[in-house]
Structure 1
Amino acid sequence: MTQWPLSDTVEEMPPGLWIRRGSPPAMLSMHRHDDVEINLVLDGQLHYLFGGQPLTIREGEIAVFWAAQPHGLVGSRTGDMCWVHVPFSLFLSWGLPEAQTAPLLSAQPLITHAPDLAERIARSAERWGEEVGGAEPGGGDDDVGDSAQIALLEIQAAVRRVLRTSSLAHPEPSADGPGSVPAARLRQVSAMAQFVRDNHRSPLAIADIAEAVHLTPSHAMTVFRRTAGVTLGDYVTMCRVAEAQRLLLTTPMTVTEIAEAAGFGSLSSFYAHVSAACRMTPREYRRQGR
């Protein structure tokens, strides 16, 4: 198996429609980007560090996640893989059912074993890249513009099939019932989640998050919980735990230094939350990960 050591930095990458098929690229640092990322493993395995936790995607599996969480490829078993990145803003504009969109705001990828669907999507991936990359949709060349628009519709259909397959494999009934989440509400939740990820290393109050999206604290908490399925406070903790896990695995910092760097107000809070998430102490987690 090929392995790559990750540095302790997190690279901020711009969002963008990106498609690749073949062997996995070597990654030297963690990164994050405001896209929905789909990984299709037709042959082999991918080994990630995702949000501070080890993640393996096996042959025949499809993983889909919001790539705003820090992640990096730490190794692979050589094979045939395919990646599709869709800008989160484009994804939101599709107005998909809440049962399919809300799980992407969680801290964990959706992983489904669907080899036939993975092969079907991968067969079209290279053509999509050529058609979308050839010109701006709606640009000067009508033929090229039409091809790009058709490719975008096919990509949307593929993403919807992946999310539908995942929701059927892992049914989680929505508290709000069926239907689609209004785009304005998804934008608010996306903005709150981004604000938390940018600021969770510092003292952070619910009022600060609400103010960033021009909502009252009570309304912000309600909107976030009903859309993302977790409370704002829980999401702040999830981000801090993920950062602590990343630092435990990629740096020689002491647990006291990590607790402060990840945004925990006290060492006892750090131990309680990280131990609950990892089901072991921070030191045991570091030892096992290495």
Structure 2
Amino acid sequence: MDDPQDRARARRNPMPVPSHDRHFYSQLRAFGRFGIRIFEPVVMPQPHWHGHIELNFAANFRMSYDIDGTRLILPENRLILFWAGVPHQLTAIQPVDDRPVKLANIYLPLDSFLQMRHIMALQAAMIGRGMVMLPESLCDAGLMQRWYLDYRSGDFERAEIVKMELNALFRRASITGFDFLRPPQHEIGTDRNLSSAHVRHVIDMVRFVLENLDKPLLNAQVTQVTGLHENYALTLFSRTMQVPLKMFINRMRLMRARALLVESSIAVSEVAEQCGFSSLTQFYAQFRAGYGMPPAALRQHYVQMDLR
């Protein structure tokens, strides 16, 4: 989320995003495109964030991880997912034996994830900044390799089947149960009275925002999709997402802007327009506050990178 801590990180670390991320951004989606990588893991020098639900499978090693200020140990050979829109960092790699270590990453656009059916509990956990570990019986290294080969084939149908299988995997996990490595923020502390119906309203608001980022958005327009009183819907949103609706919208606009900058050559002024900023001056000010550099500098930074 776009909060003072995030902005402080951006100012201290003005170029926080590894080069491989650019490959998965797309001007056709608000939050990047679907992708899968399998590679030798490396420690990240600093936190970064991007607009996907990220799935990690650490083959034969454990990861020390920092997500949004929480330090965690991620076990080996388990599929783990979280919303990568919050700052996260791989800080240490711990092999469990002499076998080679490989990290599989799946990048699932947030808007695509929120359109998946019958996984409300998992969607609520993700937008609440939780980190979830799926049952060991549901996914192994062989399945990750098959998905990777399907993705790398370039065949549209095979890639679509992978997404369908992910949805089925999430549905099965929702039935059999999953473990929290980091509980959703709306389940932490004294505020424990958010029902599944409340969360459904919040997800409806998030979907509406993602589908209309290029337009001016008033609170009343967003909350109208819930059928609730505006003030009540705004309270539900803030309690669930741990951030006010206006701040969430701004953060999503910035993520879409960064995707357009690094994946297309359209003018900065058009980027601002497509992301719903009311003026170029506002866009420059908010982009610099969010990412620690002006839009053109971030684009140039990616142009100079060697993509993997």
Class of the TM-score when normalised by the shorter of the 2 chains: 0.5 to 0.7
- Structure 2 equivalent of residue 206 of structure 1: 219
Question: Which of 178, 196, 212 pairs up with 1:160?
Answer: 178
CA distance in 2, matches of 1:3, 1:189: 28
Question: Which of 184, 187, 195 pairs up with 2:200?
Answer: 187
Task: Kindly provide the amino acid, as one letter, of the partner of residue 10 in structure 1.
Answer: L
Task: Kindly provide the amino acid, as one letter, of the partner of residue 91 in structure 1.
Answer: I
| 1:90 correspondence with 2:93 | no
Question: Which of 71, 82, 86 pairs up with 1:65?
Answer: 82
CA distance in 2, matches of 1:123, 1:59: 13
125 and 217 in structure 1: CA distance in 2 versus 1, 3 angstrom threshold: farther
How does 1:8-87 map onto structure 2 within 5 Å?
8-10=26-28, 38-42=55-59, 63-65=80-82, 79=102, 81=104
184 and 242 in structure 1: CA distance in 2 versus 1, 3 angstrom threshold: same
Deviation at 1:175, TM superposition (A): 6.9
CA distance in 2, matches of 1:23, 1:38: 12
SS in 2 for 1:181: coil
Deviation at 1:284, TM superposition (A): 1.9
Deviation at 1:41, TM superposition (A): 3.1
Deviation at 1:238, TM superposition (A): 1.1
Task: Kindly provide the amino acid, as one letter, of the partner of residue 289 in structure 2.
Answer: A
CA distance in 2, matches of 1:160, 1:82: 19
SS in 2 for 1:65: strand
184 and 80 in structure 1: CA distance in 2 versus 1, 3 angstrom threshold: same
- Structure 2 equivalent of residue 243 of structure 1: 256
Deviation at 1:62, TM superposition (A): 6.0
- Structure 2 equivalent of residue 233 of structure 1: 246
Task: Kindly provide the amino acid, as one letter, of the partner of residue 166 in structure 1.
Answer: R
SS in 1 for 2:81: strand
SS in 1 for 2:296: helix
- The structure with higher relative contact order (CA 8 Å, sep 6+) is 2
250 and 110 in structure 1: CA distance in 2 versus 1, 3 angstrom threshold: farther
Give per-residue Cα distances to partners, 1:156-191, cap 9 Å, x unaligned: 488631xx2134xxx968576264631111110000
What is the number of residues matched between the two proteins? 214
Contact 1:176–1:226 (8 Å) recurs in 2: no
Identity of aligned residues (%): 23
Contact 2:26–2:260 (8 Å) recurs in 1: yes
Q: CA RMSD of the aligned region, Å?
A: 4.7
Structure 2 residue runs of 5 or longer lacking an equivalent are: 1-18, 31-35, 40-50, 62-73, 87-100, 147-168, 304-308
22 and 173 in structure 1: CA distance in 2 versus 1, 3 angstrom threshold: closer
How does 1:135-174 map onto structure 2 within 5 Å?
155-156=173-174, 160-161=178-179, 164-167=180-183
CA distance in 2, matches of 1:288, 1:188: 39
CA distance in 2, matches of 1:184, 1:218: 17
Contact 1:224–1:231 (8 Å) recurs in 2: yes
SS in 2 for 1:215: coil
Deviation at 1:6, TM superposition (A): 5.5
Contact 1:22–1:79 (8 Å) recurs in 2: no
CA distance in 2, matches of 1:216, 1:210: 8
Normalization by structure 1: what TM-score? 0.56
| 1:285 correspondence with 2:298 | yes
Deviation at 1:37, TM superposition (A): 5.9
Task: Kindly provide the amino acid, as one letter, of the partner of residue 28 in structure 2.
Answer: V
SS in 1 for 2:277: coil
Normalization by structure 2: what TM-score? 0.53
CA distance in 2, matches of 1:4, 1:241: 15
CA distance in 2, matches of 1:248, 1:275: 14
